[in-house]
C-alpha cells in the first residue's frame, strides 16, 4: 500500500486537524504510506490535483463534475486507502439539516470511489453525531433519507469506528452497529512527539451560545456570556487565565465579555495550539477539541456545550455540561473538581490512551492486514 487519501478539512478547523493527525499516528502502527493526500470535504473539487485553492462549495459543484467527466487526475482515484476522518457524520434535525444532504458523500464516495472501487478499502474513523444536547437519536427513525444514508455509508466502509455513543445509537436505529472509541485527537500529540510540560496557565474558551449551532434549543446567549465572565473571575485567584481562541471571531467575543482577558490565537496553526495546550494546567472550554487536546496531555477539562458533540468527552472520564444549565453553584463545583484532578488526571488519561490505541490498532489491523 502506498497512497493514503483522507477526507477531512484543510486550514478550516483545527479540531479536524487534531483528529486527522491522531489517525495518522495510530495508522502508522499498522501500515506505512509513501504519500498522504488531503481532500477538503467542504469543497469536493479539492480531490483534483491543482484545485486545492477552489474552496467554495458553489464553485466546486460546477467544476468537480466537469473534471470527473474529463478524467482529471485526483486523490480519490489515486488512493490505495481512503479514510473519512472524524467530524460529525450523523446529524438529523426535523426541518433540516440532514446528514443525507452532505456535500461530499455523493461526489467523492458514490460517484468516484464506489464507481472505481477495485479492491480498495474505505474507512470511517472517529466520526460522531451532532444532535441537540439531550437527543436520544430517535430523529433518524422519522427520517427515511438519513436512515438510508447512514446505512449506505456504513455498508460502503470496510470499517466504521465512532467517537460517541449517540452516533452509535443513530447507527443502530439505521439497522447497523459499530464500536465506540475515544476520538483519535488524543493521539495527535504522538504524531508530533509533543509532551506535556508543567502547567503554567488555566485555559478558557468561549463560543456564542456555547457551540456552533443552537438547533432551535432555547439557549439564553446573554446568560452564557455572563457565566463566562464569572468563570474567568472565579479562576483568576487560582492562576494565570488565558482564553484560547480558535478563530478571530472568538477572540473578539472573549474580549467583549472580559476586556482584560489574555488571549492566545494563531489561526489555523494546529501544531502551535497543541504546544499551547501542552503547557496548560486545566481548562473550561466550549470547543470540544480544545478539551480533547488538553485532556490528551493529562490536563483535566470541563466541556460546556450545546450539542451532542460535547458528550464525547465522557469517553475520557471527564464531564460535559449543558450550557443552559450552568449556574454560579455549578461553576464552583466545576472548578473544585478540576483542581482536585489536576495531579491525578495524567495517569488516568495515559491508561485511556494506551487501551484505546490498542483497540484502534487491533480493529485497523483486522481490516488492513487481510
Site residues, Zn ion (CB under 5 A)? 92, 98, 143, 146
Shorter beta-carbon distance to Zn ion: residue 146 or 162: 146
Nearer to Zn ion (CB atom), residue 24 or residue 92:
92
* Contact by Cβ (8 Å): 222, 184: no
On the 0-12 / 13-18 / 19+ scale of CB atoms within 10 A, 150 is buried
Query: 279, 297 in Cβ contact below 8 A?
Result: no
CB of 216 to Zn ion, least distance (A): 14
CB of 310 to Zn ion, least distance (A): 21
Q: Residue 21 or residue 139: which is nearer to Zn ion going by CB?
A: 139
DSSP 6-66: EEE-SSS-HHHHHHHHHHHHHHTTT---SEEEEEETTSGGGGBTT-TT---HHHHHHHHHH
Q: 79 or 170: whose CB is closer to Zn ion?
A: 170
Q: Which three cell numbers stand for residue 274?
A: 497543541
- CA-CA distance, 367 to 161, in Å (whole number)? 12
- State the minimum distance, in angstroms, from the CB of residue 145 to Zn ion: 6
In this complex, which beta carbon is closest to Zn ion, that of residue 110 or of residue 358? 110
Pairwise CA distance, residues 141 & 139, whole Å: 6
How many CA atoms within 13 Å lie on the side-chain side of 211? 26
Closest separation between CB of residue 175 and Zn ion, Å? 15
Q: Counting Cβ atoms within 10 Å, is residue 325 exposed (0-12), middle (13-18) or buried (19+)?
A: exposed
Closer residue to Zn ion, CB minimum distance, 98 or 341: 98
Provide the minimum distance between the beta carbon of 91 and Zn ion in the complex, in angstroms, as a whole number.
8
Helices (H) and strands (E) in the chain, counts: 12, 13
Instruction: State in angstroms the smallest separation of the CB of 326 from Zn ion.
Output: 30
Coil, helix or strand at residue 233: helix
Q: How far is the CB of 92 from Zn ion (least distance, A)?
A: 3
Exposure letters 327-354 (e unless 16+ CB within 10 A, then b): eeeebeebbeebeebbeebeebbeebbe
What is the closest distance, in whole angstroms, from the C-beta atom of residue 217 to Zn ion in the complex? 17
Q: 288 is written with which cell numbers?
A: 470540544
* Closer of 92 and 157 to Zn ion (Cβ): 92
Q: Distance (Å, rounded) from C-alpha 286 to C-alpha 282?
A: 13
User: What is the Cα–Cα distance from 145 to 208, expressed in whole angstroms?
Assistant: 31
Minimum CB separation from Zn ion for residue 148, in Å?
A: 10
The residue among 173, 56, 155 whose CA lies nearest residue 103 is 56
The nearer residue to Zn ion, 50 or 175, going by C-beta atoms, is 175
CA distances from 350 to 67, 339, 355, 356 (A): 46, 19, 9, 10
Amino acid at each position: 500500500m502506498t497512497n493514503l487519501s483522507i477526507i477531512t478539512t484543510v486550514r478550516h478547523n483545527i479540531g479536524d486537524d487534531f483528529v486527522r493527525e491522531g489517525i495518522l499516528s495510530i495508522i502508522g502502527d499498522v501500515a506505512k504510506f509513501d504519500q498522504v493526500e488531503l481532500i477538503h470535504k467542504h469543497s469536493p473539487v479539492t480531490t483534483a490535483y491543482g484545485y486545492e485553492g477552489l474552496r467554495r462549495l458553489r464553485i466546486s459543484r460546477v467544476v468537480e463534475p466537469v473534471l470527473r467527466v474529463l478524467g482529471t487526475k485526483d486523490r480519490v482515484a489515486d488512493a490505495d486507502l481512503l479514510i473519512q476522518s472524524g467530524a460529525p457524520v450523523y446529524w438529523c434535525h426535523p426541518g433540516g439539516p440532514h446528514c443525507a444532504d452532505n456535500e461530499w458523500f455523493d461526489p467523492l464516495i458514490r460517484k468516484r470511489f464506489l464507481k472505481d472501487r477495485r479492491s480498495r478499502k474505505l474507512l470511517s474513523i472517529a466520526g460522531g453525531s451532532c444532535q441537540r444536547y439531550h437527543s436520544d437519536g430517535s430523529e433518524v427513525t422519522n427520517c427515511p433519507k438519513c436512515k438510508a444514508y447512514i446505512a449506505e455509508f456504513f455498508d460502503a466502509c470496510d470499517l466504521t469506528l465512532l467517537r460517541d455513543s449517540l452516533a452509535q445509537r443513530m447507527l443502530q436505529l439505521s439497522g447497523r452497529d459499530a464500536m465506540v472509541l475515544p476520538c483519535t485527537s488524543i493521539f495527535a500529540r504522538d504524531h508530533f512527539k509533543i509532551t506535556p510540560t508543567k502547567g503554567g496557565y488555566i485555559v478558557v474558551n468561549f463560543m456564542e451560545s456555547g457551540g456552533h449551532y443552537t438547533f432551535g434549543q432555547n439557549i439564553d446567549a446573554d446568560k452564557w456570556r455572563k457565566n463566562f465572565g464569572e468563570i474567568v473571575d472565579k479562576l483568576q485567584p487560582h492562576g494565570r487565565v488565558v482564553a484560547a481562541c480558535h478563530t478571530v471571531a472568538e477572540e473578539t467575543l472573549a474580549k467583549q465579555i472580559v476586556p482584560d482577558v489574555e488571549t492566545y490565537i494563531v489561526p489555523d496553526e494546529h501544531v502551535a495550539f497543541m504546544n499551547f495546550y501542552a503547557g496548560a494546567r486545566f481548562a473550561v472550554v466550549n470547543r470540544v477539541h480544545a478539551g480533547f487536546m488538553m485532556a490528551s496531555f493529562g490536563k483535566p477539562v470541563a466541556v460546556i456545550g450545546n450539542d451532542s458533540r460535547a458528550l464525547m468527552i465522557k469517553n475520557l472520564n471527564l464531564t460535559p455540561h449543558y450550557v443552559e444549565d450552568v449556574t454560579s453553584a455549578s461553576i464552583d463545583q466545576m472548578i473544585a473538581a478540576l483542581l482536585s484532578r489536576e495531579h491525578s488526571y495524567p495517569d488516568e488519561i495515559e491508561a485511556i490512551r494506551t487501551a484505546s490505541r490498542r483497540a484502534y490498532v487491533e480493529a485497523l489491523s483486522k481490516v488492513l492486514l487481510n
